[in-house]
Amino acid sequence: MNAELNSDAPAMEPSLPSPRPKKSRWRTLLQLVLVVVIFGSGVVTGGALAMRMVRHKMKNFELESETMIERIHERLVWKYDLNEEQSAEAKQIVRNKIEDLIALRQEFRPRLAAEMGSFENEIAAIMDESQQTEWRENFRHFCEITFPGVYKPDAESGE
């Protein structure tokens, strides 16, 4: 029962998984930077597309008012389960309020454009010619982003 060990046979060692090679710190840092760059690119792209869509909607608010009225009406009917009478009244209220908003916007637009023109010209008056050129370009770009279609300096000042 006592078996002798064969001295010529290799000793059996338990098989251990081979150790994983250690990642270098540079590789880990590179992976982290890539993740941040890819994520950041997605955020910037998504934000730019959302801003573009909002600007388009703001610019075409008056042209697409019927579509907007229908969408708001449908959502009210669906969300609040309005009956026929409520639905008809809600649609008329939405139509009236959208028309009021459009009228208010049209009434306010010339005043806003005049104030923006005054702002541009007063700042430009304290600048030299090269500064004025850059200022006007930057200000007009700002106006087109924040108030699309409102400020049209070429039409007003004859520049």
Q: How confident is the model at residue 14 (pLDDT cuts 50, 70, 90)?
A: low
Whole-prediction pTM value? 0.54
Asked if 78 and 72 touch (Cβ cutoff 8 Å), the reply is no
The 8-class DSSP code of residue 127 comes to S
- Measured CA to CA, the distance from residue 118 to residue 138 in angstroms comes to 15
pLDDT tens digits for range 29-44: 999 999 999 999 999 9
pLDDT of residue 157: 45
Strands of 13-124 (E only): list them: none
What would the pLDDT profile of 60-72 be if each residue is shown by its tens digit? 767 778 888 999 9
pLDDT at 92 > cutoff 80: yes
- Per residue in 98-114, pLDDT tens? 999 889 988 998 999 99
- Owner of token pair 């930077």: 33
Residue 158 pLDDT level (bands cut at 50, 70, 90): very low
**Packing angle, helices 129-146 and 84-125, rounded to 10:** 170
Tokens of 4: 């002798």
How high is the mean pLDDT of the chain? 84
pLDDT of residue 144: 84
Residue 27 has pLDDT above 80, yes or no: yes
How many contiguous H segments (helices) and E segments (strands) does the chain have? Answer: 5, 0
pLDDT tens column, 114-129: 999 999 999 999 999 9
Q: What is the mean pLDDT of residues 47-67?
A: 80
